[in-house]
Amino acid sequence: MTRLQKLILSRLALGIATLFVVSALMFVGIELLPGDLAQQILGQSATPETLAAFRAELGLDQAPHTRYLDWLSGVVQGDLGQSLASGREVTDLLSTRLANTMFLAGYAAVIAVPIAVTLGLLAALWRNSLFDRSANVGALSAISMPEFFVAYLLILVFSIKLGWFPTLARIDTATSLGQALHVTFLPALTLIMVVIAHMMRMTRAAIINVLAAPYIEMARLKGVPRWRVVLRHALPNALAPIINVIALNLAYLIVGVVVVEVVFSYPGLGQLLVDAVASRDFPVVQAVGLFFAGTYILLNVAADILSILSNPRLRHAR
């Protein structure tokens, strides 16, 4: 078995164990939440007998560990269960919301990744210049501001003051692509501003680190143009850390959308998760949490594999 195959198997095994731990922690967290789902659904006027019968119907009268193990056995068989709040299949609830979240994440990634890598390359190429310092100040400012502050600031400027974009990012199956791109521009821009700074700084640091290598100095002494030194010699050898940071930020674009979706009332998985937590809808919370955790783990494994494939010294390690 090759080193790459061992890495894939070990990371997948660790990922499965992590998913199990995540699901158990989420279940414990939901159990500790105040409130009663049956009381929320039936209202304050429901009699104790009605509440007891409804809890029995939903399986809430069973011991917590029994409900968790029943849910876990269903997941292993591909059954995510039914929503306790609405009675719908969890897979039906996830399908539309998942498509919306992936659309928003893809929208932001298509813009953020090329801009971040380009800015990082230029900042490394013109190190300590006015452009480099300005880019670093802008990146640090973007990283320092929390998502909700960036989102409300964009709403204030582009929605309330200028009126260019709507304050709420409401889309459905009847929304055209052009309308969806316009309506979701502000939430996408919020995500872009958060991730582009991190990717740009990591790209800059990786390129500068490689530029200090002896073979780069040799290329410069031979009179190779500076831009060619960066693109032909430095960038290929800096791909491993760049790929890692891009993969982590792509995972963040999918997993870290909860705050942005809530601020813009965007019908994605993040909004669904918040609603499910508020109603103590355990199967929905578990399903969304597992998807977020699985996405993060898979992208991390993909980043490790791509880093090895992009580096001959790691690919053919002895």
Q: What was the pLDDT predicted at 311? A: 62
Q: What was the pLDDT predicted at 316? A: 56
- In the predicted structure, residue 215 carries a pLDDT above the cut 70: yes
- In the predicted structure, residue 58 carries a pLDDT above the cut 70: no
What is the CATH topology of the domain spanning 95-315? MetI-like fold (1.10.3720)
Average pLDDT of 275-289?
A: 80
Cα–Cα distances (Å) from 71 to 33, 141, 148, 274, in that order, read 19, 44, 34, 20
Q: How many CB atoms lie within 10 A of CB 114?
A: 11
Q: How many CB atoms lie within 10 A of CB 2?
A: 8
Tens digits of per-residue pLDDT, 31-41? 777 666 666 66
Measured between alpha carbons, how far is 159 from 31 in angstroms, rounded to an integer? 40
**What string of DSSP letters covers 232-254?**
IIIHHHTHHHHHHHHHHHHHHHH
Q: What angle (nearest 5°) sits at the alpha carbon of residue 195, between those of residues 8 and 200?
A: 90
Beta bridge partners of 82: 89
**Percent of the chain, pLDDT > 90?**
0
**What are the domain boundaries of the chain?**
3-77, 95-315
Beta bridge partners of 89: 82
Measured between alpha carbons, how far is 17 from 129 in angstroms, rounded to an integer? 47
Yes or no: say if 170 and 197 are a contact pair by the CB < 8 Å rule. no
Measured between alpha carbons, how far is 26 from 239 in angstroms, rounded to an integer? 36
Q: Match 């790459």 to its residue by tokens.
A: 4
The residue type found at 318 is R
Yes or no: say if 304 and 107 are a contact pair by the CB < 8 Å rule. no
- 68-77, 89-98, 110-119, 179-188, range with the lowest pLDDT: 68-77
Measured between alpha carbons, how far is 305 from 302 in angstroms, rounded to an integer? 5
43 confidence band (pLDDT: 50, 70, 90)? low
Tens digits of per-residue pLDDT, 128-149? 888 888 888 888 787 778 888 8
**Which one is predicted more confidently, 157 or 234?**
157
Q: What was the pLDDT predicted at 310? A: 66
Measured between alpha carbons, how far is 238 from 243 in angstroms, rounded to an integer? 9
